[in-house]
Amino acid sequence: MKDKIFNILVTGVGAIIGYGIINSLRKSAYPVKIFAMDIYDDAYGGTLADKFIKAERADSPNFVNFLNEIIKKYAIDLIITGIEQDLYKIFENRSLINTKCVLNNQLCTDLSKSKLLTFEYLSNFNEIDLIPTLHKADFETCTKLLGSPFLLKPISSYASKGIQTIKDEEDFNYFTKKIAAQCVYQKIVGTLEQEYTISVFGDGEGSFFDYIILKRQLSQEGATSKAVLIEEDKSIFEYITKLCSILKPEGPTNIQLRKENENVFLLEINPRISSACSIRTVLGYNEPEMCIEYYLLNKKPTPRIKKRASAIRYISDFIVIEQ
């Protein structure tokens, strides 16, 4: 397969994850032809691909048939999803998809949908420190057990969307009612300056082939805006090692943590490539390249050499001049 050109379909290419995956595929050691799809005609990632396809929505009853038509027409070897909607729909219908897909295991996928389920499941394991979390509690109980202020988080959300800092009972009642009590309440631990995004490439058996730790700052959109490579952090490494032994992730997995002194706490788990993909690639950790090795070449990814560096994202323009 040395000379084979792999046909890779990347979904959700209007978002930073999608076009980050494309940029990383371009930097991989393997020849690829990139097919990109998005529900919007003007998705930026479409300009980076070899072929852009206007996509069906993941919630469309025709989504699976649409995907299989693309797979057949363009001989797609592998699908890498760039948005949660596509990931979950493909995972639910994985037995019907006629090609290989970058998917994690059932447990990691289920936990990624619910902060409440994540807390309840991992509460069974004493070796994992968790942020104190309450559900269906009143304001008085929250302030007593979580302190003040505390956080309200939607049970199902990503990229820090919908998180509110609750300082008084008026805020508590308003935001709880606004999302129909589909939320959890959490103690505030550490600070924004103590957040980390960790990528592991899981082996599906409780360990991982490689990992990278970035200390991060988030943009208002919830994606990493600034990042610094952390070459070694004993407490974080021990935490993700224990977590992976429990969850047994397979393939690219994103773990978001916060530290308070030397104590490490889980924020969330994402069973996929995350928004820092393109940053990680420049620092030496190319997840889409590892996906080609693992899913298509049946090859165990080997640890990459990481570059000591920091990254800052900035706004740029892509302009199409009308003729």
Q: pLDDT per residue over 134-188, tens digit each?
A: 999 999 999 999 999 999 999 987 666 789 999 999 999 999 999 988 999 999 9
pLDDT at 323: 79
Q: For residue 40, how many other CB atoms are within 10 A of its CB?
A: 12
Q: What are phi and psi of 32, to 5 degrees?
A: -135, 150
Residue whose entry in the numeric block shows the structure tokens 């990624």: 112
pLDDT at 1: 55
Taking domain 132-186, whether its CATH number is 3.30.1490 is answered by: yes
Q: Which CATH superfamily is domain 6-102 in?
A: NAD(P)-binding Rossmann-like Domain (3.40.50.720)
pLDDT above 70: residue 303: yes
Q: In the chain, what's the furthest Cα-to-Cα distance?
A: 65
Which residues have CB under 8 Å from 37's CB, separation 6+?
9, 10, 11, 12, 13, 52, 53, 54, 55, 70
Q: What are phi and psi of 25, to 5 degrees?
A: -60, -35
Residues of the chain with CATH 3.30.1490: 132-186
Residues of the chain with CATH 3.30.470.20: 108-113+191-312
Assign domain 108-113+191-312 one CATH number from 2.115.10.20, 3.30.470.20, 3.40.50.720, 3.40.50.410.
3.30.470.20
pTM: 0.93
Residue whose entry in the numeric block shows the structure tokens 């631990």: 189
Q: String of b and e for 241-262 (b: at least 16 CB within 10 Å)? A: eebbeebbbbbbbbbbbbbeee
pLDDT band at 218 (very low <50, low <70, confident <90, very high): confident
Residues of the chain with CATH 3.40.50.720: 6-102
pLDDT band at 91 (very low <50, low <70, confident <90, very high): very high
| Whole-angstrom distance, CA of residue 127 vs CA of residue 238 | 10
Give the pair of three-digit tokens for residue 138.
Answer: 């009143």
* CA-CA-CA-CA torsion sign (208, 9, 214, 231): positive
